[in-house]
Every structure is written in C-alpha cells, then in structure tokens.
Structure 1
Amino acid sequence: MVAPNAGTNIKIQSYKHNGNLHRTWESTIVLKGTEQVVIGANDKTVVQESDGRTWITREPAICYFHAKHWFNVIGMLRDDGIHYYCNISSPFVYEENSIKYIDYDLDLKVYPDMTYDLLDEDEYEIHRDEMKYPGVLDRILYNNISDLQRWVQQRKGPFSPGFVDQWYERFLTYRW
C-alpha cells in the first residue's frame, strides 16, 4: 500500500459495510504517513454527510489511523482539555488521495479525565441485522473495543500524555 506524504492535503472518507459513502472530511493535512500509521490534522474543515448536509468542525483535531487496528481515534483540542472520539471501524486504506474506512457505528467517547462511554450500540445492532454482518466481524469489533479501552487505560498511542499536543504543534507549522 502507498502512504501519503507529510504535508499532503487529503480527504477522509467513511463508508458503511454495504459500500455506501457515509461521511467525508474535505481537508486534512498529513503529519505522518506510513503504510501502517497515518496521523493527520484538521481545523474548521467541511464535513459532508451522505444525505448531502454539510457542517464545519468546531475545533482542531488530530486524527490517528492504523492499518492493523479496527478503530481510529480523533483527539479534539477543546478549552477544557482533549476529548477523543474513537470510531470502531475497519483498518484504513489510502487510495485516490483519501483515507478510507468502514464505519461500524460503535464509538468510544473519551473525556479529558480518561473516563469513557461506549456509544451507539443500538445503531450497530440495527445495521448488523440490516447488512448481515458475519459473526466473525462481531467478534473482531468487540475485541478491538477491548483493545481500545486498554489503550485508554494504559495511556497508549494517541492517548499517551503529550501525543495530541505534539502533533498539534506540528500541524501549526503547516498552516499559512
């Protein structure tokens, strides 16, 4: 797999299991790009929903994607600290100047004090039935939720102290 170069402006595209485009972030600056990990940042970027609605992100965010884990992590810099929104998703692929992944509805919302809530289990169950997720996928996703919760508890990867701040400082060097 080819990786995006640091400094490149890319899109992020979220799909559903049935192949339908779910959501697109129009502009993210790559801060680190390898075949295994992509770290990007955006601020006040346009997001387009599948129904055509658009909105603009409110704060700077550091995005962490991994090619082997079934989740991605967005660290949002807010006045009261860093809030994380973690999508339970397929590992990413990079093609056509875009990070692409399948969103499986389940989300882990992590607060600045590192407490967290698992969200959207009802939405996941509806889509699991509608799109006929195989049983093995259900196990993969719930195992990755456990891994993600361990990462939060151990302050690993994007949850480690200083991770988001360090990458945000790098992002500021690309802004003009």
Structure 2
Amino acid sequence: MEYMDIISYKHDGQLHRVWRNVVKLFEDSEITVLINNEVDVIDGDGRKWKTREPAVCYFFKKHWFNVICMLRKENVQYYCNLSSPYVIDKEGLKYIDYDLDIKLFPDGEVLELDRDEYDFNIKYYHYSDKIIKIIDDNMKKLLAMIDKREDPFNNSCVYSWYSKYLDLEQQEDKK
C-alpha cells in the first residue's frame, strides 16, 4: 500500500491540519482517492486526535472542493470542504481550506457549515474577488452534484473503494 499525508493550509499559508499516513487507492489526471482509517490528525494549533471511522476521501484537480465520505455503521455521511485543487509533492497531498463546508446526511439533509468563519476570513485573509467567485461557483457545482447524487455522492461507489482498501489491507497482512 502507498501511504501519504494530507496537509491542509489556510489562505495565508499557515498550517491548518495534517492527516498522517493515509492510504492512496487511486490517482489519475482528474482525481486522487485516499482512505483514512483511525489515522493520527494534527491540528495547526498542535492538538492531536485520531479519526474514528474509515473515510474515503476524494480530491479533485479541477474542482475547488474535496469530499470526505465517512463510513458509519450502516450508512455514509459526506463532508465536503470548499478548498483549492490539490497538489502532491514529497511531503504529501496539499490544499488550501476555504472554510465553507457542506454536510450530506444519510436521510438526504444538506447542511451548510462555517459560513460565519468564511465571511470573517474573506476580510481577515483578504480573499480576492476572483477567489470569492470561484468558491461561490464551486459551491453551486457541489450542491448540484449532491442533488443529482453524482459520484462520489453514491454509497455504492464509496463502498466499492472501501472494499478495495480492505482487499489491499488483507494482502498486506499476508506479507
């Protein structure tokens, strides 16, 4: 299995959060799919914690958001971060977190989170009009994908990636 860190930053380059040793499942010219399962997380302020459940993570090279699909007992809960497209270097997969989040619950409820943080950071970090427009446009694109249940907002797609991860883990255990 190939491991890497996920590293998120704020607009000014300040470290926001690091997920340690996540597993890379897939990468092509459009997307990278990772999975974390009880991995160590370090917040920018130094606080450390562990993820509680497996999560399939989709990072896009052309969209300004990423999607974290948390596998909880008998359902999937989706957490979407408005963010820059990612880059990968020797340190890991990196992106800028733009504060706004969308949560999709198993019952179909969609909830916008952290609007107040985003509105504050527009001024604090001096987001340009261009960045604000990109975030607004990508929020609309994200909500349309959710509404249509396009991948990755499709439980069978998420479980398929999770199954691939379990197969890789089993192969690793045999070594």
TM bin (shorter chain): over 0.9
Matching of residue 156 in structure 1 with residue 146 in structure 2:
no
Amino acid at match of 1:102: I
Unaligned runs of 5+ in 1: 1-6
**Counterpart for residue 114 of structure 2:** 120
Q: Distance in 1 between matches of 2:91 and 2:30?
A: 16
**Counterpart for residue 58 of structure 1:** 52
The TM-score, its normalising length taken from structure 2, stands at: 0.94
CA contact (8 A) 2:76 2:155 kept: no
**Counterpart for residue 3 of structure 1:** none
**Counterpart for residue 6 of structure 2:** 12
**Counterpart for residue 167 of structure 1:** 161
Instruction: Give the Å deviation of 1:115.
Output: 2.0
Provide the aligned length of Structure 1 versus Structure 2: 170
Matching of residue 71 in structure 1 with residue 44 in structure 2:
no
Unaligned runs of 5+ in 2: none
Instruction: Give the Å deviation of 1:77.
Output: 0.4
Instruction: Give the Å deviation of 1:80.
Output: 4.2
Q: Distance in 2 between matches of 1:110 and 1:161?
A: 12
**Counterpart for residue 133 of structure 1:** 127
The TM-score, its normalising length taken from structure 1, stands at: 0.93
Amino acid at match of 1:76: M
Measured on the aligned residues, the alpha-carbon RMSD in Å equals 1.0
Flag as ranges the 4+ runs of structure 1 deviating above 2 A.
none
Instruction: Give the Å deviation of 1:161.
Output: 4.1
Task: Name the % identity.
Answer: 41
